[in-house]
Structure 1
Amino acid sequence: MPTHQDSSAVRLNYPTAQFMTSAPTLALCPDDTGAEVAFAGRSNAGKSSAINALTQQKALARTSRTPGRTQLINFFSVMNDEARRLVDLPGYGYAKVPEAVKLEWQQHLSDYLKGRFSLRGLVLLMDVRHPLTEFDQMMLGFADERNMPVHILLTKADKLKKGPASAALQQVRSRLKEWEDLVSVQLFSSLKRDGVDTLAKRLDEWLKTPPQ
């Protein structure tokens, strides 16, 4: 495993990812040390499928036939190192739940994104056919408040032909031009594993083990 001295060239083995714990609130999350990257997206954006594609595991992140059912913050260690973590945030905006529950989810997301010191970056997943929803804008706003980098996955790219997919990518980049110093965007398909390597390289940058 790389040492701190060569961490600039670190390449992490994401298939080693293992479930650590789940937490309903920021207060019950693991110790706020090391480095972690959070995955966020509407409940039908393919977030669990993307995590499973990255880790080459079929059910590390649970996929549900009822989008939005998971209301917990789920933590996964990488390379048997709990100082490097992937975090699966609750899906938002699709589940048929009471408005009060949705508002509670939103508050937990806000608390986590604004108050988690070890959070190094946010992977924001959007269906390539329906990008930049109200939820997506809200998440970008949270990240902007912290000056935190965001890597956007335009998921389900296999649903579009190459031309329309490329056009959608350019449209999102254009609309986010004011945030180009913090935000990067790519096409992604969990089904075909397109874009997994690009995602892994970005995570490698964010999950360098920080000085302790």
Structure 2
Amino acid sequence: MIKKASFLISNTDYKKCPPPTMPEFAFIGRSNVGKSSLVNMLTGNKNLAKISGKPGKTQLINHFLIDDIWYLVDLPGYGFAKVSKGIKSTWEKMISDYLTNRENLVAVCVLIDSRLDPQKIDLEFITWCGENEIPFILIFTKSDKQSKTKTLGNVRKFLDSAKEIFGDEPDYFITSSQNGEGKVELVSFIENEVQEYYDSHR
């Protein structure tokens, strides 16, 4: 489990991010998907990432150092944030430059709202990741907001859509920031990937 998490630096340019000497996991999703809450739940620090009811709060590439051995990166959300077209295109360029150029990026953690049917924007984003050979995993959020049956039904619909695009299902986790569901499994997955990263870079 995560013992230590601290904010490191915010940037608008991947070239100014910390030296790519540690494995990195980037968290991204539609605006208001519950990203900050999830980051805080995973790290056990409810004040680490800023939570806002207002979509579009994260506007920078935010690096957090975890247990002194890996980086958690909080990226701006995509989707319906009420910002100008100019800011939106700047964000999009910043995110795509970061994702396609960051050599120590192990996986993009794509957050999906488990209360919704598959959203076009989420499917477009994972398709873009696939086209650019960027590894990703799916994290379904807000599982506590409805019945388990409804959550599993929506997850299944999304996985079926992803399977149509890729031919197989991506790795996925079902989470709740409220009751901690999925925390152990997701952190274990990341820790295994971190270990593999160091083993292969020896």
Normalization by structure 2: what TM-score? 0.90
User: 1:42-78: CA deviations, max 9, x gaps?
Assistant: 1210001011110111111111232202211111111
- How far residue 179 of structure 1 moved from its aligned partner, in angstroms, is 2.8
In the alignment, structure 1 residue 206 sits paired with structure 2 residue 188: no
Contact 2:117-2:157 at 8 Å conserved across structures: no
Partners of 1:197 and 1:149 lie apart in 2 by: 21
In the alignment, structure 1 residue 175 sits paired with structure 2 residue 157: no
Contact 1:75-1:86 at 8 Å conserved across structures: yes
Gaps of 5+ in 2: none
1:16 equivalent in structure 2: 4
1:117 equivalent in structure 2: 103
**SS of residue paired to 1:152:** strand
In the alignment, structure 1 residue 54 sits paired with structure 2 residue 29: no
- How far residue 15 of structure 1 moved from its aligned partner, in angstroms, is 3.5
Q: Percent identity?
A: 34
What is the one-letter code of the residue matched to 1:167?
G
**SS of residue paired to 1:14:** coil
Contact 1:40-1:90 at 8 Å conserved across structures: yes
User: 1:114-146: CA deviations, max 9, x gaps?
Assistant: 111000001110111225433322321332134
Partners of 1:182 and 1:16 lie apart in 2 by: 32
Higher relative contact order (CA 8 A, sep 6+): 1
Partners of 2:3 and 2:77 lie apart in 1 by: 23
User: 1:137-158: CA deviations, max 9, x gaps?
Assistant: 2321332134333211111111
1:91 equivalent in structure 2: 77
Contact 2:123-2:162 at 8 Å conserved across structures: no
In the alignment, structure 1 residue 158 sits paired with structure 2 residue 144: yes
What is the root-mean-square deviation in Å for CA atoms of aligned residues? 1.8
Partners of 1:61 and 1:69 lie apart in 2 by: 10
1:74 equivalent in structure 2: 62
Pairs within 5 Å for 1:34-45: 34-45=22-33
**SS of residue paired to 1:183:** coil
What is the one-letter code of the residue matched to 1:194?
E
What is the one-letter code of the residue matched to 2:98?
Y
Partners of 1:120 and 1:104 lie apart in 2 by: 24
Gaps of 5+ in 1: 1-12
2:176 equivalent in structure 1: 189
Q: Which runs of 4+ in 1 moved over 6 A?
A: none
Partners of 2:162 and 2:155 lie apart in 1 by: 11
Normalization by structure 1: what TM-score? 0.86
What is the one-letter code of the residue matched to 1:70?
T
Partners of 1:164 and 1:182 lie apart in 2 by: 19
User: 1:21-47: CA deviations, max 9, x gaps?
Assistant: 111121221112221000001121000
Partners of 1:138 and 1:59 lie apart in 2 by: 31
